[in-house]
């Protein structure tokens, strides 16, 4: 049965700083393992990860304890979003939001009419297969929308995105932003980081919650110290790779993709 309260949204509104990781490997057991580690949240990534809707359900089932599930759709497309919500996802990170209009369309995809355009079914997993008679009435209150800004166009329209009704967090994505700025693969480039700094300054001025993802530990510490609300600090792939390198170092082996001898 799907719990009635969106704990991630409640903690966010209470002013907690929430730290998590991205799950991209197509295996629910790894998500289950990471969920036991104590992250505040794990992002189930269907944009870059090989996970379909059935796979999302498998991952939602194994997450529990202190760790909440976020899901990133491949795109802010109404039919895709409907299926993820019906599967039980309640906190969605929408990629590549570039305008207030795009943000409003993403929000609308998460709400039933007349507030939005989500298709109606009362017998989905989200509604406990029909046992939760009140689901349709309160579903919108438990949806959390994170709008990911990851382009120059998105930064140009940051204020209108941030102030779109129903957007709970503006999540700055440095990797795609770096590529859009001509610095592919260089998310720590000074020009990129200056743009990110400026975005967070503008969001603070609006009193809008912010989010960020980085694989750089120093960058993560800096963003946490600066008060960014939702910070992704690793991905399942990077956690495994770091573990392999540490094991290789302990054993005198080159477990770094270059062979073991």
Give me the catalytic one of 48, 157, 183, 189: 48
Helix (H, G, I), strand (E, B) or coil at 107: helix
Q: What are phi and psi of 209, to 5 degrees?
A: -65, 145
| Bridge partner list, 204 | none
Of 104, 112, 107, 91, nearest in space to 9 by CA: 91
Residue 157 C-beta-side C-alpha neighbours within 13 Å: 19
Of 96, 118, 98, nearest in space to 107 by CA: 118
48 catalytic per annotation = yes
Cα-based distances in Å from 129 to 59, 87, 133, 232: 18, 10, 10, 32
Of 121, 126, 122, nearest in space to 84 by CA: 126
Cα-based distances in Å from 38 to 34, 128, 180: 8, 26, 34
Among all residues, which ones are annotated catalytic?
A: 48
């Amino acid at each position: 049965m799907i719990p009635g309260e969106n704990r991630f949204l409640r903690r966010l509104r209470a002013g907690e700083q929430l730290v998590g990781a991205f799950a991209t490997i197509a295996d629910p057991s790894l998500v289950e393992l990471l969920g036991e580690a104590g992250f505040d949240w794990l992002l189930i990534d269907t944009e870059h990860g090989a996970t379909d809707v059935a796979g999302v359900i498998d991952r939602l089932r194994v997450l529990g304890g202190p760790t909440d599930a976020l899901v990133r759709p491949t795109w802010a497309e109404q039919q895709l979003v409907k299926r993820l919500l019906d599967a039980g996802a309640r906190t969605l990170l929408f990629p590549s939001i570039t305008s207030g209009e795009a943000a409003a369309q993403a929000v609308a995809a998460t709400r039933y009419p007349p507030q939005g355009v989500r298709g109606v079914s009362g017998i989905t997993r989200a509604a406990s297969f029909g046992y939760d008679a009140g689901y349709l009435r309160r579903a919108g209150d438990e949806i959390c929308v994170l709008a990911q800004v990851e382009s120059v166009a998105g930064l140009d329209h940051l204020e209108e995105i941030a102030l779109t009704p129903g957007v709970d967090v503006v999540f700055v994505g440095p990797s795609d932003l770096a590529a859009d700025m001509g610095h592919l693969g260089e998310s720590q480039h000074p020009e990129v980081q200056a743009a990110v700094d400026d975005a967070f300054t503008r969001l603070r001025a609006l009193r809008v919650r912010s989010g960020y993802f980085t694989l750089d530990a120093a960058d993560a510490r800096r963003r946490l110290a600066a008060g960014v609300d939702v910070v992704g600090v690793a991905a399942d792939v990077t956690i495994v790779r770091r573990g392999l390198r540490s094991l290789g170092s302990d054993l005198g082996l080159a477990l770094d993709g270059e062979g073991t001898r």
